[in-house]
Structure 1
Amino acid sequence: MEQVIGVRFKPAGKIYYFDSNHLDIHLDDGVIVETSRGKEYGYAVLFPKHPEVDGDNPLKPIIRKATMKDMAQLERNKEREKSAFGICLKKIEKYKIPMKLLRVEYTFDRNKIVFFFTSEGRVDFRELVKDLASVFHTRIELRQVGVRDEAKQVSGIGSCGRPLCCATFLGEFAPVSIKMAKNQGLSLNPTKISGVCGRLMCCLRYENDQYEGDTKKKRCCMDRKKGPLFRVGMKVATEEGIGQVLYVNSQKHTVKVQLEGEKTKTFSWDEVEKVDNG
């Protein structure tokens, strides 16, 4: 079987798989491939040892390794994208369309321009498309994206003080649920567990499997004694009085409790008793 190569077209983008076509390709090499949008310039980022290949849909071969001429064309496309962005903004203002333009993307062979935008609802941009086509003389696509995709394309700084995960390394979005925050004993205050996009933070998934496994193991020996496991907001009885759970550490099996006044103290799970459902 020919070597399978994972190709990414933009930073933190989804990885697509291609047949190496017997070419000598190394990590981070530029390659030219055929996609549903036409020819595209991508980078070799992954060489899976045991790829899952669908026999009914054989992989497309890589056309060639990128040359200096291809790199120069890629840079020219980026300059064209900046110009197209400004032109589109003026057209949007001209037609007074309620949409926010995020990014413009040329296909490598310049046979198509894709304009990414967000809007609160559906918009009629037929006249805009006609006007843009008359200016650029090529195929035009306007693609509406959601708030998570907007954050990925615009980027920014998260509450942790680091660049957004979606804009730096997450190739695809995965489902995130409020249950993940509960498993980790986090506050369910939306402002504390939501990202800049307004949706639940993607990082809630990172340690969720570990917390779920620990919770299941602990539940086997705790449910018969104390009922439900501790969670943030639950009232508990301690040797120093009644308090409210502020934080649950499932790895160390401890809870941080706020007692009367401003005093807080950490207890092991065996040192506290549930008072009510909190």
Structure 2
Amino acid sequence: MSCSTSGGCSSNGSSGCTKHNTFDWLANLPAYDNGEHPLVEIQVEGQFHKRYAENNKSLELFRGDWVKIRAHRGYDLGQITASGELAKLGHLRKIRELNDWGKGKTNQEDSFDVLLDKANEKEIKAHQNQLDKRLMYQKKVRDISREMQLPIKVSDVIYRGDCQQATVYYTSDKRIDFREWVRQASVSLSTRVEMRQISDRQEAGVKGGLGPCGRELCCSSWMTKFDSVSTSAARYQQLAINNEKLAGQCGRLKCCLNFELQTYIEAKAFMPTRVKDIKSPKGTYEVVSVDYLTKSISYRSPSGELVVVSPKEYNDLRQRVQDGKDVESVFSKAKQLLPKENKQDPQAHSMDMAVEGVDLDSFVQNRKKGQGRSNRKGRPPRRKNKRR
């Protein structure tokens, strides 16, 4: 897939497909310190990480062009997604990720792929034909798994660019011996077969889809590194621990819970570690909520009003309680909010609002007194079920 502009796709990096697109925001800037051979960023179908290669042959490459890169016993096809400074920045990010995952350091030369040449129309067409038959190949390998009763879930089957090898992506919770399975799959697909296990989050990225936010899944559009997500991230952000709402399409906790976690952690450092109720001669001010982002603490006064105080005012209140001083002066200066039932327009509240001929205000008062319960006088008695 090629974008409509040289600087990036027309939808600013989100094309609605399940490919990891890159918006080249440095395309129109002059390159500097690129070295003798500029870098290019390559996206290979079915792979979650971008590949980087040096344009040693000084080929005229543009975004969306198909190129051949060296693979084991052959070559693979990929598309140019970025070049110049943006590719250089992406390569440095990849090296940092590899160093974080591995124990040793990764050299820049070891992370480069060998760029062979531009792909011709015949090679591109053959590769596209193999990609169009992915559903048929998936059905074949799934039938083999069903016949052998292997507890695996086949996610995708992708042929290499030279059609000499097929990679089967699968998920499984158990350790399985695939030797016989690979033999039958090689005969069915008429090529060498490589098994590659992926996680549940990576499978969701392969399948693609829309999240509850209405946008394309992050794992299928731009994410390449999947960090672990714990329930403590939801607690820091004051979210209810509801597995159904916090889980994504992969069945795991949503990756976006980590996006704002650092912001909440930094904001929580400016808030009191433990917020308590404040007692006064007029009654007890009860804690309603603590908002880390706005740095505010909401209290409900004995009269039912909502009072919002800052962390500095809260520390002043706690000190006054310890010293035995009056706290009403601090609450009187704080921001007061009306209760929810009094936030509406006074004129609208004074209008005659009746429910079945009963005034709404009197109906609420009767409900509080217990007089609003249904009275069954004058009605026929309930029929009791007789035991046979």
TM-score range, shorter chain: 0.7 to 0.9
Hey, what's the Cα distance between the residues in 2 that align with 1:203 and 1:110? Answer: 37
Match of 1:253 among 295, 311, 322: 295
1:66 maps onto 2:101 in alignment: no
Structure 1: tracts of 5 or more residues without a match: none
| Distance change >3 Å, CA 253–CA 61, structure 1 → 2 | same
Residue 208 of structure 1 deviates from its aligned partner by 2.8
**Residue matched to 1:23:** 59
> In the alignment, is the contact (CA less than 8 A) between 1:254 and 1:266 conserved in 2?
no
Q: Does 1:125 align with 2:164?
A: no
| Equivalence for 1:184 | 237
2:43 to 2, 5, 8: 8
Residue identity opposite 1:267 in structure 2? V
Q: Which moved more, 1:165-174 or 1:100-109?
A: 165-174
**Pair 1:236–1:27, CA change in 2 (3 A):** farther
**Residue of structure 2 equivalent to 1:99:** 152
- Counterpart residue identity of residue 178, structure 2: F
Change (3 A) 1:196 1:255: farther
Contact in 2 for aligned 1:236/1:272 (Cα 8 Å)? no
Instruction: State, as a whole percentage, how many aligned pairs show the same letter.
Output: 24
Choose 1 or 2 for highest CA Rg: 2
Match of 2:308 among 243, 259, 267: 267
Compute the displacement of 1:80 (Å). 3.8
Q: 1:99-178, aligned counterparts within 5 Å?
A: 99-178=152-231
Q: Partner letter of residue 126 of structure 1? A: R
Q: Deviations over 1:97-128 (max 9, x none)?
A: 22221111101111111111222312233222
The structure showing larger relative contact order (alpha-carbon pairs under 8 Å, at least 6 residues apart) is 1
Residue 286 of structure 2 corresponds to which residue in structure 1? 242
Quick one: distance in 2 between partners of 1:151 and 1:140? 22
Q: Which moved more, 1:266-275 or 1:155-164?
A: 266-275
Q: What amino acid is the match of 1:26?
A: F
**Match for residue 47 of structure 1?**
83
SS in 2 for 1:63: strand
- The superposition leaves residues 29-80 of structure 1 with CA deviations (integer Å, 9 ceiling, x where unpaired) of 2221113584221122233535547255272332122332232112111134
Q: 2:268 aligns with which of 206, 210, 215?
A: 215
1:116-169 Cα distance to aligned partner (Å, 9 max, x none): 122231223322211122233321122222211221112233232333210122
How far apart, CA to CA, are the structure 2 residues paired with 1:5 and 1:132?
A: 35
Q: Find the residue that maps to 2:155 and give its secondary structure.
A: strand
Unaligned stretches of 5+ residues in structure 2: 1-34, 96-106, 319-388
1:199 corresponds to which letter in structure 2?
R
- How much does 1:12 deviate? 8.3
- Which residues in structure 2 correspond to 1:223-234 (within 5 Å)? 226=272, 228=273
Matches within 5 A, 1:85-96: 85-96=138-149
Q: Do residues 202 (structure 1) and 255 (structure 2) align? A: yes
Name the SS for the 1:128 alignment partner.
helix
1:9 partner letter: V
Write the distance in 1 (CA, Å) between the matches of 2:306 and 2:81: 48
Asked if structure 1 preserves the Cα contact closer than 8 Å seen for 2:155 and 2:169, the reply is yes
In the aligned structure 2, how far is the partner of 1:266 from the partner of 1:62? 66
Quick one: which amino acid aligns to residue 294 of structure 2?
A: K
Q: What code does the residue aligned with 1:7 have?
A: I
Cα RMSD of the aligned pairs, angstroms, is 3.4
- CA contact 1:12–1:169 (8 Å) conserved in 2: no
Stretch of structure 1 that moved more, 71-80 or 171-180:
171-180
> Is the contact between residue 243 and residue 259 of structure 1 (CA under 8 Å) also seen in structure 2?
no
Q: Is the 8 A contact 1:19 1:62 kept in 2?
A: yes
Q: Distance in 2 between matches of 1:189 and 1:259?
A: 31
Hey, what's the Cα distance between the residues in 2 that align with 1:266 and 1:58?
Answer: 58
* CA distance in 1 between partners of 2:43 and 2:174 (Å): 31
